[in-house]
């Protein structure tokens, strides 16, 4: 509407989503979404406007926080916020988002290919005491603390240590990597300064993002829950304040202080991840 009245309702239907909005006297505010939807963020080409977000490049939002703010307090389907491979100097706060059913609010970044190749000899599946590894003569140096994907394995693994000819992962493979195996090594293309999950916020999943802010890179507040999947933190810690955090296939590095911190009542699940602290011995 061109001249809306305060408290007027309007069903906003930009590309890919249906959101009931209400005018608060100066801005249209999202109230509830109908069905699942996906929005896109692009720092270079996007624009923060309620009509944006429906596609990549010039149709995207410009900031992650603006995209999060377009998720209504009640969302009626899984919401995916896809963030382009750029750096976002933001502290992103997720608060007051409640699903009407078994839905999830997903914040996903973009991985970028660092190297692809074919293994030159059989590798090691790994056991509880032995790390899995992949061999490719002369091609593995410089890839520690990145992600590797093998066709036969079907999942992403954190690379723990490397030599010139091999890469050992921070876990095990589902089967032994064989000679001639195709692999891809990925780095994180999407970088965000910090993430704060507010008290009581549930059903949040974070994929493929590097959080680089110092202090508390990722904070979960009381009675919240989230899953970090294939994420990276550097300079600061992952902090669980009386909340639940799943840390799966992640790399966490801090410079002093703590790498992963949990209060007495917090619950943390760590699977196939690597955590180091450069400032403490």
pLDDT at 258 over 90: no
Taking alpha carbons only, the member of 192, 188, 160 closest to residue 173 is: 160
pLDDT mean over 246-263: 91
Half-sphere exposure of 140 (CA within 13 A, CB side): 24
End-to-end C-alpha distance for the chain, whole angstroms:
62
Residue 136's CB is within 10 A of a number of other CB atoms, namely 22
In sign, the C-alpha dihedral spanning 5, 9, 66, 84 is negative
113-187 has CATH 2.40.440 classification: no
Phi and psi torsions of 170, nearest 5°: -85, 40
Q: Give the pLDDT confidence of 80-133 residue by residue, as tens digits.
A: 999 999 999 999 999 999 999 999 999 999 999 999 999 999 999 999 889 999
Domain ranges of the chain: 9-110+189-277, 113-187
Distance CA 107, CA 228 (A): 10
Half-sphere exposure of 4 (CA within 13 A, CB side): 16
The more confident residue out of 280 and 247 is 247
Q: Give the pLDDT confidence of 38-77 residue by residue, as tens digits.
A: 999 999 999 999 999 999 999 999 999 999 999 999 999 9
Supply angle C-alpha 39, 187, 164, rounded to 5: 165
Distance CA 252, CA 243 (A): 19
Position 279 confidence tier, pLDDT thresholds 50, 70, 90: low
Q: Give the pLDDT confidence of 194-242 residue by residue, as tens digits.
A: 999 999 999 999 999 999 999 999 999 999 999 999 999 999 999 999 9
Distance CA 156, CA 37 (A): 26
């Amino acid at each position: 509407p061109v001249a809306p009245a305060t408290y007027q309702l309007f069903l906003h239907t930009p590309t890919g989503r249906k959101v009931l909005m209400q005018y608060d006297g100066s801005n249209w505010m999202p109230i509830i979404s109908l069905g699942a939807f996906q929005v896109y963020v692009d720092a270079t080409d996007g624009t923060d406007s309620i009509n944006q977000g429906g596609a990549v490049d010039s149709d995207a939002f410009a900031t992650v926080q603006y995209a999060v703010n377009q998720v209504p307090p009640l969302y009626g389907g899984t919401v995916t916020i896809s963030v382009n491979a750029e750096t976002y100097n933001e502290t992103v706060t997720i608060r007051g988002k409640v699903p009407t059913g078994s839905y999830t609010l997903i914040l996903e970044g973009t991985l970028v290919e660092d190297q692809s190749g074919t293994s030159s000899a059989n590798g090691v599946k790994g056991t509880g005491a032995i790390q899995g590894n992949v061999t490719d003569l002369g091609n593995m140096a410089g890839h520690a603390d990145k992600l590797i994907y093998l066709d036969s394995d079907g999942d992403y693994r954190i690379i723990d240590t490397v030599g010139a000819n091999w890469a050992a992962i921070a876990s095990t493979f589902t089967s032994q990597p064989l000679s001639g195996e195709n692999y891809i090594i990925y780095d994180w293309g999407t970088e965000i300064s910090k993430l704060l999950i507010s008290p009581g916020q549930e059903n949040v999943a974070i994929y493929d993002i590097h959080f680089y802010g110092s202090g508390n890179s990722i904070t979960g507040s009381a009675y919240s829950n989230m899953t970090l999947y294939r994420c990276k933190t550097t300079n600061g810690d992952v902090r669980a304040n009386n909340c639940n955090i799943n840390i799966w296939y992640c790399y966490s590095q801090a410079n002093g202080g703590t790498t992963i911190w949990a209060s007495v009542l917090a619950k943390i699940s760590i699977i196939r991840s690597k955590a180091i602290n450069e400032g403490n011995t």
